[in-house]
Amino acid sequence: MERKVALVTGAGRGIGKGIALAFARSGYDVCVNYNQSAEKAEEVAREILSFGVRAEAVQANIATMDGVESLFEQFSSRFGRLDVHVNNSGITRMKPFLETTPELFDEVFNTDMKGLYFCSQQAARLMARNRTSGVIIQISSNHSEGTWSNSTVYAAAKAGVNKLTKNMALDLAPHGIRVVGIAPGYTNNSWVDGSERVTKIIENISSRIPLGRYCTPQEVGDAAVFLASDSAGYMTGTTIFMDGGALLPVWAERGYNG
């Protein structure tokens, strides 16, 4: 039986790496997309090979239309079929609203929204052409609903991703393609270097998260595999939040008991 294939953007590190490895553990061949982290992406691909599946690292900057087209040209020539596409690539930029520039706005939206949009379109076209009942997974953020300072651009982009997930799901349902999202909160990404300064930051933030810790890339990966599976076959147009309860009310801390 031919193995299924997953394409994960921004898979050279962090959440993308966790997702790529999770699909490999589940028996998928995996295309590891990266923009600049070639060495790390190749390391991820080698690790994936240890699971007895196929892996290739493919460079493409999905913030540009040329990059999106290049990614899918390379992918199609190397893999052919596509069962799961994960839009993980994203840029986080924080700036006070009064200081935000058009350049910062474009930098975030070109990757987090425009790139995601047209990667989804290319993926859906390939799935529809091959008559594959595929799954497109959007990696959003709890910023899409939570309100933090200096986040007007990033939060707006992620809120747009959640709404796009709904509308895409409606348009693609006749093709048998499901569209779902994952909105992580604080996650142990590559910036978590074990230094005393970073450790104190993590401890401080974790103390305000109901579950008391950060999410891990592997947990996001496991959620993505579940959403792509037959067990989630009736789920489309929805985004699940993985933030340890960070968006839950804090009335209890203020003495409110209903």
154 flagged as catalytic: yes
Nearest-angstrom CA–CA distance, 196 and 169: 44
How many C-beta neighbours within 10 Å does residue 38 have?
Answer: 12
* Cα→Cα distances 177→104, 130, 135, 136, 218, Å: 33, 12, 6, 7, 25
Please give the Cα distance from 7 to 32 (Å, whole number).
Answer: 7
HSE at residue 79, side-chain half, CA atoms within 13 A, is 31
Residue tagged active-site, from 28, 34, 154, 214: 154
Strand partners, 137: 86, 180
Structure tokens at 59: 């460079």
Beta bridge partners of 56: 31
Q: Which residues are catalytic?
A: 154
